[in-house]
Amino acid sequence: MIKFSYYVALVIFALIISVSTIKAQQFGVKGKVLDIETYQPISGVSIKIANTQYATSTDNAGEFSITLPEKQTEYVLVSTFVGYNTDSTTFNLEQSEWEFIPVALVNANATLDEVVITRRRERASEIVLLEERRLSNLMVEKIGAQELSRKGVSDAEGALTKMSGVTKSASGANVFVRGLGDRYNSTTLNGLALPSEDPLNKNISLDFFGTSFIENISINKTFNPALLGDVGGANIDIVSKEFSGEDFLEIGASSGGNSQAISADDFKKIDGTNWFGSLSERKTPVTDLRQYEFKNSWNTSQIKTPINSSFTLSGGKKFNVGNGSLNLFVMGNMNSEYRYFDGVVRQTNTSGALIANQEMVRSQYNVSKTAMANLKYIFGKHYVAFNSMYIGDQGQDYGQNYGMNIPEEDGDIRLWRRQHVVDNHLLVNQLLSKLELTDNWKLDLGVGYNYVAANEPDRRTTNLLFRDGNYRFYNNANGADNERYYSEILEKGWALKAIATYKFDNPQDLDRKIEFGYNGNLITRDFDVRMFYHNVLGDLTVTNGIDDINSSFNANTLQSNYFELGTNWGRTSFEPNWYKAKKDIHSALAVATYQFSEKFTGILGVRYDKINQDIEYKLQLRSSTVDPSIIDKNYILPSLNLKYALTEKSNLRAAASMSYTLPQFIELAPFQNTFATFRSEGNPDLIPVENTNFDLKWELFPSSGELISVGVFYKSMKNPIARVETINNLMNYVNIGSTAQVAGAEIEIKKNLLRTTTAYGDNVLAAGANVSYLYSDQELKTPAIQFVEERSALQGASPLLVNADVSYLYHGSGWNLTSSLVANYFSDRVFMIGTTSFKNVIEKGVPTLDFVANAAIANKWGVNLRVRNMLNPKINLERETDFNENIVLESYRRGVDASIGVSYKF
């Protein structure tokens, strides 16, 4: 398949090279000139391309346009106006026909120092993204690194929750877009498919991508053929940072803590790893069930100072190589974070009576390491770029549940403890190129290789029973209640693209072009798991205390036959439970863009996806030879996007499309994954979801950096997938019915509220807000499962989403300050569909409030203060009983996170 993809790209390349020279098209530079103090447009500014005769001046809106005869490696745009300092801006045209340049002119009499000027020009870059949004033919929302910093956003995940219709799960790491969760969304890096670092999820955890990594993030809620077909909610594309400007080296560090972790009396540390994330063992050491060869201890230690920390290093440099330039950007980051929370976990029977009521405690430590290098060589009209990214993420978790849990005798108390490490590694390598073959032909090539290694080495679980004043081992499943667990996942994938673009000449220079080409997404995954059961043969009483399990399970007690060691296959076999998955998606696409007039543009496209997905697996009582999981599908996915410019400042947009959603490997493989409060199991009989999407949006850009938009949308899904509770605490995935619908409305506002200037500096107060209303409905009807209700809201769909921020900016002499208050809220939503006589589990609405302040001093030093989750609300999962009472199944608080950091730029 890889060779096939290579040959497709080669054929397209050869075909384009053979095309004879065609009449030149128009391209050049457009932009807007602003006063750096007022951000108001300036008319009559003289705009010239240095060392050429090409020149113009800005109109009443401060806008300009210059047509250029050819594409060079670099151009210099010179802007002059009476009473203002001359500005020179370097740009190139290798990525597009027209480059948009924001120009911020400084009044000659202004007393602003260089630091203030730099920060104000960064503000102008926010205006660029809004201008791109206004000019784009597609419904794409973008947020750039500068706006992220101003709003106190430290990573891509936080960035998305500032966009309309997007919210984060309070109990998980993923985002919901228009009520659709992980399986319905897709993530790309520089336009190429990006896997998750955690095999339990489809999409990568976005909090790895800090602002030092990000150039901008775009979210496309409407499908078009350039996107992966496996998307129902949105495609999230992260554009990695490239070097531009002057050479630099920057270092930074921060420290802080979680309010609950710092105040905890007994923060547990598990054995087998350390602060840096090094492991004492990755694979099972056991080769003989008669020997106890485990290296890690059952017993925990205590952490007295759980202090969070972060370290960052980044730099960039430009080299002149031959007739082109080579830009290098590198960054590295390490974050360590402690969290502690306590609460309750409960379970009910079908009538709502409690059968489990336990106190819950969690001690969590997470250490993540991110590194990225970008090399970009620009030569003539072309460029070649190489991106390499590594993410190492390790979570160390100690959990304890204490209390009643389906008692066998009156007064029985259960103590459940688990220590586990999740050690995930992701390596991404991308080679990207854009070539201007002629004035009308363009080629976009890309290949990415992704490698994921995910291990859970030596997960230790103990189950104890407190009865008649003594603790004893709970030993009802031949040792499976007290086990050590090792799992390994290895995933490899190729992402490929070869897209050719031909632009048609026309006298009006309207946007008329056709794009066609190939995408490939090829993935293999191997998973195996081994479980070692500790079956107690002697006295079940815990004699040396519940915190010294080592004295009960060790080499001596094994030899003395106090217990026997077995596996999930018995006492004679080391064979693992396993699955092998393979997914090949080959896609052909064609897109025609036709601008009928200066106001009206239409984009008609189609994508053909050939999908082959196969999962082989073997468990003790089940295998793919009897119950196979195969998806062999062909999809033709049409799309239509329309844009009408009502005025120079307002647009009306419409879109319609079809897409699909594949069930993920973890949802198909019939393995039970056991977590602290629930279990999940895959379903090999799942089939893909088919999505039909409609969008309508009106946008108004009142002035530079401001936006008002109102949109409505409707989605229809055939064979929707949802997680359901089939028996106590066991979640399954099923095609829950034949149809589901999601409809809603979104309002977004960005506005500058106040601006004043004094002798000491100036003050800016800005605000932004977006509100989304969602309606969702799905049929509950499948032959294998009995539901309480006939219909339900969609899993994860909150009827109300609100995101808002208020920012205060002070620009003074020699320093400046930016502070932001950011609020988010989602209303109650379905967490899990109930079955039999169980009603739905509801995730209660959660408000969040964050504060951030950044100060820049002398253009060298930076100081930041962040306080997250200031309200520290309860996170609750609830279920209604037959008596119309709400039972809290899980409740805890995450604590308040605070940090202070400093950086220095050389």
285-307: pLDDT as tens digits:
898 999 999 999 999 999 989 99
Report the largest interatomic distance among the alpha carbons of the chain, rounded to a whole angstrom: 96
Q: What's the mean pLDDT when you consider all of the chain?
A: 85
- Ordered alpha helix ranges (H), 468-573: 555-559
Note the pLDDT of residue 861.
87
Q: What is the pLDDT of residues 545-556, one digit of tens each?
A: 999 999 999 999
3-class SS shares of the chain: helix, strand, coil, % to 5 = 10, 60, 35
Higher pLDDT, 702 or 827: 827
d(CA 267, CA 389): 33
Q: In angstroms, rounded to a whole number, what is the distance separating the alpha carbons of residues 801 and 826?
A: 5
C-beta of residue 314 within 8 angstroms of C-beta of residue 240: no
Least reliable range by pLDDT among 7-11, 399-403, 566-570: 7-11
Across 3-17, 459-473, 828-842, 877-891, the highest mean pLDDT is recorded for: 459-473
Strand-strand pairing, 629-647 and 689-700: unpaired
| pLDDT tens-digit map of 295-348 | 999 999 999 899 999 999 999 998 888 888 899 999 999 999 999 999 999 988
Instruction: Report percent pLDDT > 90 for the chain.
Output: 44
Single out the residue of 394, 392, 396 nearest to residue 306, CA to CA.
396
Q: Is the pLDDT of residue 816 over 90?
A: no
Question: Is residue 448 over pLDDT 90?
Answer: yes
Taking the CA of residue 485 as centre, how many other CA atoms within 13 Å lie in the half-sphere pointing to its CB?
23
| Bigger pLDDT: 867 vs 2 | 867
DSSP per-residue codes, 120-152: HHHHHHHHHHHHHHHH-SS-EEEEEHHHHHHTT
Q: Which two tokens stand for residue 632?
A: 């062999």
Average pLDDT over residues 388-398: 93
**Residue 474: pLDDT over 60:** yes
- Is-contact 61 648, C-beta < 8 A? yes
Torsion angle of alpha carbons 501, 506, 510, 511, nearest 10°? -10
Q: What are the helix and strand counts (H, E) for the chain?
A: 7, 49
Instruction: Report DSSP state, residue 12.
Output: H
Measured in degrees and rounded to the nearest 5, phi and psi for residue 182 equal -50, -50
Lookup result for tokens 């493989």: 669
Per-residue pLDDT at 571: 82
Q: What pLDDT score does 159 carry?
A: 65
Confidence of residue 150 (pLDDT cuts 50, 70, 90): low
> Region 576-596: what's the mean pLDDT?
94
pLDDT score recorded for residue 406: 86
Q: How confident is the model at residue 153 (pLDDT cuts 50, 70, 90)?
A: low
Which amino acid is residue 662, in one-letter code? L
User: If pLDDT is split at 50, 70 and 90, which confidence band does 10 have?
Assistant: very low
Nearest one of 147, 44, 34, 27 to 89, comparing CA atoms: 34
Q: Which domains does the chain have, with CATH numbers?
A: 25-110 (2.60.40.1120), 119-246 (2.170.130.10), 249-487+496-905 (2.40.170.20)
Residue 6 has pLDDT above 50, yes or no: no
Report which DSSP code applies to 331.
Answer: E
Burial of residue 114 (CB within 10 Å: 0-12, 13-18, 19+) is: exposed
Q: What is the mean pLDDT of residues 209-227?
A: 82
**pLDDT digit string (tens) for 398-408?**
999 999 988 88
Of the pLDDT bands very low, low, confident and very high (cuts 50, 70, 90), residue 695 is: very high
For 51-93, how does the pLDDT look when each residue is reduced to its tens digit (9 = 90+)?
Answer: 888 889 888 778 888 888 776 667 888 998 877 788 888 877 7
pLDDT at 375: 94
Class of residue 535 by CB neighbours under 10 A (exposed 0-12, middle 13-18, buried 19+): middle
Q: Smallest Cα–Cα separation from 481: which of 501, 464, 495, 502?
A: 464
Q: How far apart are CA 383 and CA 392, in angstroms?
A: 30
> What are the pLDDT digits (tens) for 611-627?
999 999 998 888 888 88
Kind plus residue range of the DSSP H or E element containing 817: strand 815-826
- Which pLDDT does position 763 carry in this prediction? 80
Cβ contacts of residue 136 below 8 Å, gap of 6+?
A: none
What region, left, alpha or beta, does residue 350 occupy, with left being phi > 0 and alpha being psi -120 to 50 degrees? alpha
List the one residue out of 114, 303, 84 whose CA is nearest residue 857: 114
For residue 433, pLDDT beyond 60: yes
| Local structure of 262: helix, strand or coil | helix
User: Over 90: is that where the pLDDT of 757 sits?
Assistant: no
More confident residue, 213 or 844: 844
Report residue 758 as tokens. 């004094």
Please report which helix (H) or strand (E) contains residue 3, including its range: helix 2-17
In single-letter form, the type of residue at position 299 comes to N
Strands 98-105 and 27-35: parallel
Helix (H) / strand (E) element for 718: namely strand 707-718
Structure tokens at 865: 């203060």
pLDDT bin (cut points 50, 70, 90) of residue 95 is low
The pLDDT score that the predictor gives to residue 867 is 93
Q: Average pLDDT, stretch 250-275?
A: 93
Band (pLDDT 50/70/90 cuts) for residue 125 is: low
Average pLDDT over residues 155-163: 67
Q: Angle at the Cα of 284 (from 279 to 288), degrees rounded to 5?
A: 145
Extract the tokens encoding 765: 């107060």
Give CA separation, 351 vs 279, 414, 481, 842, 879, in Å: 46, 23, 28, 17, 11
Q: Is the pLDDT of residue 22 over 50?
A: no
Q: Which of 904, 898, 823 is nearest to 255 (CA)?
A: 898
H-helix or E-strand containing 595?
strand 577-595
Per DSSP, the three-state class of 702 is coil
